[in-house]
Amino acid sequence: MEFREWLHHPSRTFNGMWEVNPENQKIIGLGRGFLQLIHGVIIYLIALHEQNDFNGNLLQNMRISRKNVVSGSYWDLEFRINRPPNLSLIKGIVADVQHLRSMVYLAAKRFSLKDCPALCLFLNQFYGFEESHFSDDLSSLSYVKKIAYFNYSHPLFFNDVNMAHFIYKVYEVRKRNVSEFNRLIRLNDSIPIANMTGWLARIPVKLNMWPCHDMQSPLRQVLYYRQGQHPYAFRNYFNCSNEVVTYLRSVCEHGRDVNTKESSGRILKELHQVLPDALSKIHFLLHVKFSDYICRKHFNANNIVDLMTNDHFGYKGSFESIVQITSSWHVKPSFDDKKRKTLLR
């Protein structure tokens, strides 16, 4: 079936399409099935675009079916090439990105979603090609691929592993030039759409014990010194909104150190529930603030895509889905392991 038919099928339910925080019932991301489908589309588009090819009419050219296996089931995707005539490579890639964004938009519209920060940021005009201030740059293939990269690597599509990789990568970029990073990535009310002021108040605390107690959540425990001259003293630098970047990395790096009974996956899941907007806001500012000039001058990289994908903790994106390409459809993309782990340059 085509995507619109799949989306409006009676078996599509709210809980199947969206991830909900059980504590407050707020939407914090895509549900497992929808996420697997989107991952499959992303794998396919990356393989095409890396070979300077495109689909051009994704919503019409994709077919979705369910495949049952011993361990459960997954969405099987098949693609054909039936593109509009006289469509250039640049316009074709733009069309592919817009169709991916349309899938997410149509799903949000189908279930009348409004209050999901990561979703709202993904659908922001800066990730698309709709606004006139992009028109002068559409002649640049590298620029179009940069926009595509930021769509395909968006935190809305993360699983736990992707979250950790992205957090470590952002922390590594920040270490290259802390002052310049903080000048650009301002997670305060100076940029309302990316404001993280007050994030500290969202960290859970059990009120019947000391905030630094060993029985508190690992998300709470990493806020305090564990040894040295001031054990169990609060780390005052966390009062700054930008230090949420340090905090995210501290949870990944030390969450299990302070509470070995909790698994890394469980800790990251709780982190996502408590701060579901943090990664999307950081991602947004990386996208709009890191120009090629800034990357070359201050961060020893040719551009933001190189900065995010190369060197230590190179962020490789979210490409775990299975995509089936049958012989009767377009078979040009290769989906070997190397291709799955390579992002647009």
What are the pLDDT digits (tens) for 273-286?
999 999 999 999 99
Residues in the chain with pLDDT < 70?
130-139, 227-231, 312-345
pLDDT at 4: 95
The Cα 130–Cα 251 span in angstroms is 37
pLDDT at 322: 30
Contacts of 320 (CB under 8 A, 6+ apart): 39, 159, 161
The answer to whether 340 touches 333, Cβ cutoff 8 Å, is no
What is the pTM (predicted TM-score) of this model? Answer: 0.87
Q: Structural domain boundaries of the chain? A: 3-156+319-340, 160-317
pLDDT at 263: 87
Partners of 344 in the beta sheet?
A: none
pLDDT at 182: 94
Measuring CA to CA, which residue among 282, 285, 308, 284 is closest to residue 295? Answer: 308
pLDDT at 211: 79
Q: Which amino acid is at 241?
A: S
Residue 207's Cβ-side half-sphere holds a number of Cα atoms within 13 Å equal to 0
CA angle 152, 156, 162 (to 5 degrees): 75
Quote the distance between the C-alpha of residue 180 and its chain's center.
Answer: 23
Q: Is 270 left (phi over 0), alpha (psi -120 to 50) or beta?
A: alpha
